[in-house]
């Protein structure tokens, strides 16, 4: 039993400072665990040499009593759509299989600067287009909570950042970076029983994050506790000159109150009724009702609200996603980087052939559909229309967060994250990619439409022994209150993200 896995980041770094545990030893153990848990397929690439070097440097800083900050020597994994200097960054696609970025994404450079130990790159759906981490060049990622990991009775990790969620859930690292366009951080966090934060759009730099849908993409954070999540957020958030879409307001580090200092009597919680959609499992409903009740018992005002345009969100999302994908994927032509086919008859021929070989079917169909919506004759009818409905969806949120009548306002929305616990791979793989996303992203993608922050927190286990999670959303830049309430709930439910390890030891 690795006792240090039960620690949070503050306890871990305290043990470094006291010399009880060294970053080098911890990194060795983490790399060992990653290897032993290879069956999960959480990582597409480990970087042991760089990690051990970073750990060694960190150790020296602790020995000199000069650690860099809260994340010095802390093991972190990065989704494979964030550029990492000198380390292949593939988006789990054939197109970028050989791509070695000559620079670091801002999120990565800030983590490195803070002394974090980056263990490697994690698995994902190709170009982040999916909700299961089942469409990867490197094969699907498995959920560590599965009843069995062999055969075909294993559970998906969720997606598209399934590798990052899986790595944190398995205790291989303390935190991981994912991305979230329609729920790609919160969805796998929900299935894997870890915390998954989608920050306000523009709070974290997208520089070096290979774009999917520029107007919605945000880097996401996985951790086993809210407190760890805040430590990572404080390290990576804030304006960046390399990303003109970052919010220019200087970032002020969040400090959450201690549990017994949290006063919920002034907090207004909204339950958006439309989030009880068809297909919500009775267990998730029960969990949702209970946590709303707990908040009410603690003095929060809890009431039902309506976000009438939410149900349209999934259709709007599908249109905008495919349009932006069509535009973003135009950069892959095989000339400057990426897969290059051998057809040299003409430039156009080379482009077409490289793309035919480099993209999977999901990517290709989204490009084609996006181009259809963007045709001159369709542009207003689909693309602009979707953007207009997007405003209605965003305004629904504004109406409940900043209503003209004080009495009508709420501070936080409480909803499910996913509609069920993690599906079996064999059930999930039978659906089309669109149905996979339309069902699984129902509760998550409205937040991306509006750019507001949202966090998924694990609450309890289902009958099948799988994590059930809920989502909290707040108005833009209100992460302080969002995470304070999340922390309070975390303390009430006492979910143990690592409880599965005991069950798994026999199968390893």
Partner 1 sequence: MLRLLNKRFYCKFATKTKVRPEKLNFKQLTHPTKVPQTPVKAAFPNTSANEIELDPKSIQLLERLALVDLDSERALETLKSSIQFADKITHIQTDNVRPLYTVLEQQQLQLRNDLVTEGDCRGKVLSNAKVTDEDYFVSPPGNIPLEQ
Which of the residues are catalytic? 79, 160, 184
Rounded to a whole number of angstroms, the minimum distance from the CB of residue 215 to partner 1 is 6
Shortest gap between Cβ of 277 and partner 1 (angstroms)? Answer: 6
Residue 477 Cβ, how far from partner 1 at the closest point, in Å?
11
DSSP one-letter code for 210: P
CA–centroid distance for 291 within its chain: 23
Our CB check for partner 1 shows the closer of 60 and 273 to be: 273
How far apart are the C-alpha atoms of 227 and 174, rounded to whole Å? 11
Under the binding rule (CB under 8 A), the answer on residue 463 touching partner 1 is no
Kindly state the smallest distance separating residue 360's Cβ from partner 1, in Å.
11
What is the pairing mode between strands 268-272 and 412-416?
A: parallel
Examine residue 476 and tell whether it contacts partner 1 (CB under 8 A): yes
Contacts to partner 1 from residues 18-77, by CB under 8 A? none
Closest CA to 277 of 419, 444, 445: 419
Q: Could you check whether the bond before residue 160 is cis, i.e. omega within 30 degrees of 0?
A: yes
Does residue 300 bind partner 1 (CB under 8 A)? Answer: no
Q: How far is the CB of 481 from partner 1 (least distance, A)?
A: 19
Tell me the window of 20-28, 61-69, 224-232, 344-352 that interacts with partner 1 (CB under 8 A).
344-352
Q: Among 132, 199, 334, 453, which residue interacts with partner 1 (rule: CB under 8 A)?
A: 334
Which CB sits closer to partner 1, 69 or 478? 478
Under the criterion CB under 8 A, does residue 277 sit at the interface with partner 1?
yes
Q: In sequence order, what DSSP letters do the residues of 379-426 get, joined into one string? A: IIIIIIHHHHHHHHHHHHHHHHHS-SSGGG--SEEEEESSSSSPPBHH
Q: Establish if 148 lies at the interface with partner 1 (CB under 8 A).
A: no
Q: Compute the least distance from the CB of residue 334 to partner 1, in Å.
A: 7
- Name which of residues 188 to 217 contact partner 1 (CB under 8 A): 201-202, 215
Candidate segments 63-71, 165-173, 310-318, 477-485, binder of partner 1 by CB under 8 A = 310-318
> Based on CB atoms, which residue is closest to partner 1, 65 or 376?
376
Q: Does 398 bind partner 1 (CB under 8 A)?
A: no
Which one of residues 11, 36, 39, 245 is an interface residue with partner 1 (CB under 8 A)? 245
Output 27 or 418, the one with its CB closest to partner 1. Answer: 418
**Residue 504 Ramachandran class (φ > 0 left, ψ -120 to 50 alpha, else beta):** alpha
For partner 1, which stretch binds (CB under 8 A), given 17-25, 104-112, 242-250, 403-411? 242-250
Selected binder of partner 1 within 53, 227, 371, 464 (CB under 8 A): 371
Peptide bond into 229 cis (omega under 30): no
Cα–Cα distance, 480 to 445 (Å, whole number): 21
Q: Is 480 in the site for partner 1 (CB under 8 A)?
A: no
β 75-79/175-180 pair status: parallel
Rounded CA-CA distance 45/120 in Å is 6
Among 262, 372, 429, 504, binds partner 1 (CB under 8 A): 372
Kindly state whether residue 499 participates in binding partner 1, applying the rule CB under 8 A.
no
Q: Cβ closer to partner 1: 478 or 492?
A: 492
Q: Measured between alpha carbons, how far is residue 37 from residues 8, 156, 320, 321, 505 in Å?
A: 21, 15, 37, 34, 11
Candidates 364, 408, 478, 504; binder of partner 1 (CB under 8 A) is: 364
Q: How far apart are the first and last CA of the chain?
A: 14
Determine the interface stretch with partner 1 among 110-118, 159-167, 227-235, 356-364 (rule: CB under 8 A). 356-364
Report the distance separating Cα 433 and Cα 133, nearest Å: 11
Alpha-carbon gap, residue 181 to 198, rounded angstroms: 9
Contacting residue, 248, 265, 404, 406, with partner 1 by CB under 8 A:
248
Which member of 127, 145, 288, 425 binds partner 1 (CB under 8 A)?
Answer: 288
Cα–Cα dist 187/455, whole Å: 10
Q: In the beta sheet, which residues pair with residue 301? A: 268
384 is a site residue for partner 1 (CB under 8 A): yes
Q: Does 5 bind partner 1 (CB under 8 A)?
A: no
Residue 298: φ, ψ to 5°: -85, 5
Cα dihedral 453, 458, 459, 462, rounded to 10, equals 130
Contact 161/179 with Cβ under 8 angstroms? yes
Q: Which of 10, 441, 411, 452 is nearest to 197 (CA)?
A: 452
Stretch that binds partner 1, among 22-30, 104-112, 161-169, 308-316 (CB under 8 A): 308-316
Q: Check: CB of residue 97 under 8 Å from CB of residue 195.
A: no
Query: What is the pattern of x (binds partner 1, CB under 8 A) and - over residues 71-110?
Result: ---------------------------xxx-xx-------
Is residue 385 close enough to count as binding partner 1 by CB under 8 A?
A: yes
Q: Which of 266, 432, 463, 503 binds partner 1 (CB under 8 A)?
A: 432
Residue 73: how many CB atoms within 10 A of its CB?
29
Q: Which residues on adjacent β-strands are paired with residue 303?
A: 270
- Concatenated DSSP letters for 436-494? HHHHHTTTTHHHHHHT--EEEEEEEE-TTS-EEEEEEEESTT-HHHHHHHHHHHHHHH-
Which of residues 164 and 246 has its CB atom nearest to partner 1 in the complex?
246
How far apart are CB 210 and partner 1 at their closest, in Å? 13
Of the pair 335, 508, the CB lying nearest partner 1 is at 335
Closest C-alpha to 89, from 99, 104, 74, 79 = 99
4 binds partner 1 (CB under 8 A): no
């Amino acid at each position: 039993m690795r006792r240090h896995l039960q620690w949070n980041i503050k306890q871990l770094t305290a043990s470094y400072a006291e010399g009880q545990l060294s970053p080098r030893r911890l990194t060795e153990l983490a790399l060992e665990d990653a290897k032993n848990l290879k069956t999960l397929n959480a990582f597409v690439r480990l970087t042991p040499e760089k990690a051990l070097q970073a750990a060694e440097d960190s150790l020296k800083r602790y020995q000199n009593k000069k650690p860099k900050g809260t994340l010095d020597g802390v093991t972190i994994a990065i989704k494979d759509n964030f550029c990492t200097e000198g380390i292949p960054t593939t988006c789990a696609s054939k197109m970028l299989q050989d791509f070695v970025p000559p620079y670091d994404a801002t999120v990565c450079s800030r983590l490195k600067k803070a002394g974090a130990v980056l263990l490697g790159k994690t698995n994902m759906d190709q170009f982040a287009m999916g909700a299961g981490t089942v469409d990867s060049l490197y094969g699907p990622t498995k959920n560590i909570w599965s009843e069995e990991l062999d055969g075909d009775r294993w559970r998906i990790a969720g997606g598209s950042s399934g590798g990052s969620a899986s790595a944190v859930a398995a205790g291989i690292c303390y935190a991981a970076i994912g991305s979230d366009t329609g729920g790609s951080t919160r969805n796998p966090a929900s299935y894997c029983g870890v915390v998954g934060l989608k920050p306000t759009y523009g709070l974290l730099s997208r520089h070096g994050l290979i774009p999917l849908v520029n107007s919605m993409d945000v880097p996401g954070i996985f951790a086993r506790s809210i407190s760890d999540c805040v430590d990572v957020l404080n390290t990576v958030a804030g304006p960046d000159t390399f990303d003109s879409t970052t919010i220019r307001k200087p970032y002020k580090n969040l400090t959450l109150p201690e549990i017994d200092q949290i006063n919920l009597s002034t907090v207004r919680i909204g339950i958006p009724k439309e989030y009880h959609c068809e297909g919500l499992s009775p267990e998730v409903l029960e969990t949702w009702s209970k946590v709303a009740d707990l908040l009410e018992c603690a003095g929060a005002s809890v009431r039902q609200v309506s976000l009438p345009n939410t149900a349209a969100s999934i259709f709007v999302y599908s249109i905008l996603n495919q349009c932006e994908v069509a535009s973003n994927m135009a950069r892959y032509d095989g000339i400057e980087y990426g897969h290059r086919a051998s057809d040299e008859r003409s430039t156009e021929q080379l482009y077409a052939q490289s793309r035919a070989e480099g993209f999977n079917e999901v990517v290709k169909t989204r490009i084609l559909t996006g181009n259809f919506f963007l045709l001159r004759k369709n542009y207003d009818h689909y693309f602009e229309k979707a953007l207009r409905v997007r405003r209605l969806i965003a305004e629904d949120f504004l109406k409940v967060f900043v209503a003209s009548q004080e009495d009508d306002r709420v501070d936080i929305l409480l909803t499910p994250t996913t509609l069920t616990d993690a599906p079996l791979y064999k059930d999930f793989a039978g659906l089309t990619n669109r149905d996979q996303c339309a069902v699984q992203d129902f509760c998550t993608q409205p937040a991306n439409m509006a750019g507001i922050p949202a966090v998924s927190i694990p609450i309890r286990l289902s009958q099948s022994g799988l994590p059930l999670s809920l989502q909290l959303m707040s108005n833009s830049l209100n992460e302080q209150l969002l995470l304070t309430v999340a922390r309070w709930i975390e303390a009430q439910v006492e979910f143990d993200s690592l409880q599965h390890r005991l069950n798994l030891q026999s199968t390893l």
